[in-house]
Amino acid sequence: MERLTLPPGGAAAVDEYLEYRRIVGEDDGGKQFTPEEYEEYKRKVIPIRLLNRLFVSWRSPTGVDCKLVGPETLCFCTHRYKQHKTDFEVIPQRRPISLPCRVPGCLCRAYLYVPLSGAQPIRCRCKHLADQHSAAPGLVCNACSKCSGFHSCFTCACGQPAHAHDTVVETKQERLAQGKPVGRDVPYAAMGGLTGFSSLAEGYLRLDDSGIGAPSVEVLDASVTATDHPFLRAFQASSNSPPETLRDGGTSSQVPSLRKPEEDDMAFFERRYQERVLLKSALALREKEMEKRRGRRVGNMHIRTSHILEMQLGPFNHQILASEFFSLTTK
Ligand SMILES: [Zn+2]
Ligand SMILES: [Zn+2]
Ligand SMILES: [Zn+2]
Ligand SMILES: [Zn+2]
Ligand SMILES: [Zn+2]
């Protein structure tokens, strides 16, 4: 593996640039702001963003947010969410709120999420692919004349057809009123529906407040007591003590999910997601091994995996961890 070496101060410069990119997004039109322009931009835009953030999700008729749209999530028009208008000085009164594409020449008037089938675009009932259709309102097909507008029967992981889902754009208040998560206020551009580390998983795996069977806010916010698993107590300690203590004590390597002091939201979410993917494959391996040992397939997978987790982690707080680990074991 090649190693990337940076000149002294280089890492800080890279961090600074990434921070700049997350805040400015596409707003500099490809020509980096001068330090003065950047300061002016932050003064002007960040207060609006914190106040008027719009949350974007792709919602099933069951009410589950099957996809939480992030800055890089593609639109039907083939451009990314961050390339659409996402900042509003005044939130429009009209619903639905349309987020038009800002790429010159693009006909898209409202961000529209379309799922992929694996890595492939999905097909319309006219048999043509999503990207063969016009991004202009009406979404008619460019490849045939019988299409009355893109309509896909592709089945989402939630069991509902794609056409029964809606791309929902809503305010913080509107989400809170439905008990959906809003996360912390962040100064970054085009965060869409990303509110936490589980945002990157599909809705049916997430099982948080935006999914069916979510633990209540009271349960999730309940304070950690001495009877809870050390994992949770470590996590609790980290939020009460300066991060340096944890690093010096080496605790952060034992509890990898703790937020590192230098880490931003996106990096944190991404790392947590990767950790979950790793844990999931470790569990799958472990499970195979156990089945081999028993020489037969055994009953309920959920029960088996929760046993494995207990063996690995000791008894844990089911209210919190079960929801998280359950999501890893049921794909
Ligand atoms: Zn678009
Ligand atoms: Zn576009
Ligand atoms: Zn079509
Ligand atoms: Zn067609
Ligand atoms: Zn769905």
Contacts of 73 (CB under 8 A, 6+ apart): 67, 80, 81, 113, 192
pLDDT digits (tens, 9 = 90+) for 273-308: 666 666 666 667 766 666 666 654 444 444 444 444
- State the distance from the centre of ligand 3 to the C-alpha of 151, rounded, in angstroms: 6
Residue 251 lies in a domain: yes
Contacts of 40 (CB under 8 A, 6+ apart): none
Q: Which two tokens stand for residue 178?
A: 């439905």
- State the distance from the centre of ligand 5 to the C-alpha of 64, rounded, in angstroms: 7
- State the distance from the centre of ligand 5 to the C-alpha of 159, rounded, in angstroms: 6
Q: What is the CA radius of gyration of the chain?
A: 22
Residues around the ion ligand 4 (C-beta < 5 A): 126, 128, 141, 143-144, 147
Q: Are residues 197 and 263 in the same domain?
A: no
Residue 144 lies in a domain: no
* Ligand lying closest to the C-alpha of residue 151: 3
Residue 281 lies in a domain: yes
Residue 115 lies in a domain: no
Q: Are residues 230 and 314 in the same domain?
A: yes
CA-based nearest residue to 252, from 220, 275, 278: 275
- State the distance from the centre of ligand 3 to the C-alpha of 145, rounded, in angstroms: 9
Q: What number is the average pLDDT over the span 131-157?
A: 95
- State the distance from the centre of ligand 2 to the C-alpha of 146, rounded, in angstroms: 24
- State the distance from the centre of ligand 5 to the C-alpha of 299, rounded, in angstroms: 28
The C-alpha atoms of residue 170 and residue 97 are separated, in whole angstroms, by 8
pLDDT digits (tens, 9 = 90+) for 36-92: 999 999 999 999 999 999 999 999 999 999 999 999 999 999 999 999 999 999 999
- State the distance from the centre of ligand 3 to the C-alpha of 9, rounded, in angstroms: 53
Q: Are residues 191 and 233 in the same domain?
A: no
- Ramachandran angles phi, psi of 107, nearest 5°: -90, 0
Residue 70 lies in a domain: yes
Q: Domain count of the chain?
A: 2
- State the distance from the centre of ligand 3 to the C-alpha of 122, rounded, in angstroms: 11
The C-alpha atoms of residue 319 and residue 145 are separated, in whole angstroms, by 54
Q: For 1, which DSSP code?
A: -
Q: Which two tokens stand for residue 328?
A: 């890893």
Sign of the four-CA dihedral 289, 291, 294, 299: positive
- State the distance from the centre of ligand 1 to the C-alpha of 122, rounded, in angstroms: 16
More confident residue, 127 or 10: 127
Q: Are residues 290 and 192 in the same domain?
A: no
Confidence of residue 2 (pLDDT cuts 50, 70, 90): low
Confidence of residue 8 (pLDDT cuts 50, 70, 90): confident
Report helix, strand or coil for 276: helix
pLDDT digits (tens, 9 = 90+) for 190-243: 999 988 766 666 655 554 444 333 444 554 555 555 555 555 555 555 444 444
Residue 226 lies in a domain: yes
Q: Are residues 187 and 271 in the same domain?
A: no
Q: Which range (4-8, 13-17, 103-107, 294-298) has the least confidence? A: 294-298
Residue 284 lies in a domain: yes
Task: For strands 54-59 and 166-171, give the pairing.
Answer: antiparallel
In the prediction, which pLDDT does 320 show?
A: 39
Q: Judging by beta carbons within 10 Å of its beta carbon (0-12, 13-18, 19+), is residue 227 exposed, middle or buried?
A: exposed
- State the distance from the centre of ligand 1 to the C-alpha of 221, rounded, in angstroms: 37
Q: Are residues 26 and 95 in the same domain?
A: yes
Q: Are residues 246 and 285 in the same domain?
A: yes
The C-alpha atoms of residue 61 and residue 173 are separated, in whole angstroms, by 21
- State the distance from the centre of ligand 2 to the C-alpha of 107, rounded, in angstroms: 7
* Ligand lying closest to the C-alpha of residue 149: 3
- State the distance from the centre of ligand 5 to the C-alpha of 161, rounded, in angstroms: 7
Confidence of residue 264 (pLDDT cuts 50, 70, 90): low
- State the distance from the centre of ligand 1 to the C-alpha of 282, rounded, in angstroms: 38
Q: Which domain covers residue 264, as residue numbers?
A: 217-329
Q: What number is the average pLDDT over the span 123-152?
A: 96
- State the distance from the centre of ligand 4 to the C-alpha of 122, rounded, in angstroms: 12
Cβ count within 10 A of residue 22:
20
- State the distance from the centre of ligand 3 to the C-alpha of 176, rounded, in angstroms: 36
Cβ count within 10 A of residue 201:
20
The C-alpha atoms of residue 81 and residue 181 are separated, in whole angstroms, by 20
Q: Are residues 196 and 234 in the same domain?
A: no
Residue 43 lies in a domain: yes
Q: Are residues 191 and 319 in the same domain?
A: no
Tell how far CA 296 is from the center of its chain: 38
pLDDT digits (tens, 9 = 90+) for 12-35: 888 899 999 999 998 998 899 999
Cβ count within 10 A of residue 199:
24
The C-alpha atoms of residue 87 and residue 78 are separated, in whole angstroms, by 20
Q: Are residues 191 and 222 in the same domain?
A: no
Q: Are residues 290 and 222 in the same domain?
A: yes
Residues around the ion ligand 3 (C-beta < 5 A): 124, 126, 141, 147
Q: Are residues 198 and 315 in the same domain?
A: no
* Ligand lying closest to the C-alpha of residue 206: 5
